Amino acid sequence: MNNINRFIGVNLANPTILTFLLDNKEVGKLVIRDNKLEFMGDAHISAQIFLNNFMKPVVDNYIKEKLELLN
């Protein structure tokens, strides 16, 4: 997750808005309002950036921690 700031900008106001960047250009946003997620702009690329650069490291770390507990 070291490079996350290169891909995602976060505004924690209500609604919460994550802005997705590709080559330093905004490609889309994820708006979190009333417990609903809404991708805006280029939804496909925004979702790909979100999953690859935010969720994947979180899930990988969770799995790693659980595996360490088993050993």
Name the pTM for this structure.
0.61
Residues of the domain holding 50:
4-70
13-24: per-residue pLDDT in tens? 778 888 988 888
| C-alpha to C-alpha distance for 28 and 60, rounded to whole angstroms | 25
CA atoms within 13 A on the CB side of 37: 9
User: Could you tell me if 33 and 40 are in contact, meaning their C-beta atoms sit under 8 angstroms apart?
Assistant: no
pLDDT at position 6: 58
CA distance 5 to 28: 15
The number of folded domains in the chain is 1
Q: Residue 3 pLDDT more than 60?
A: no
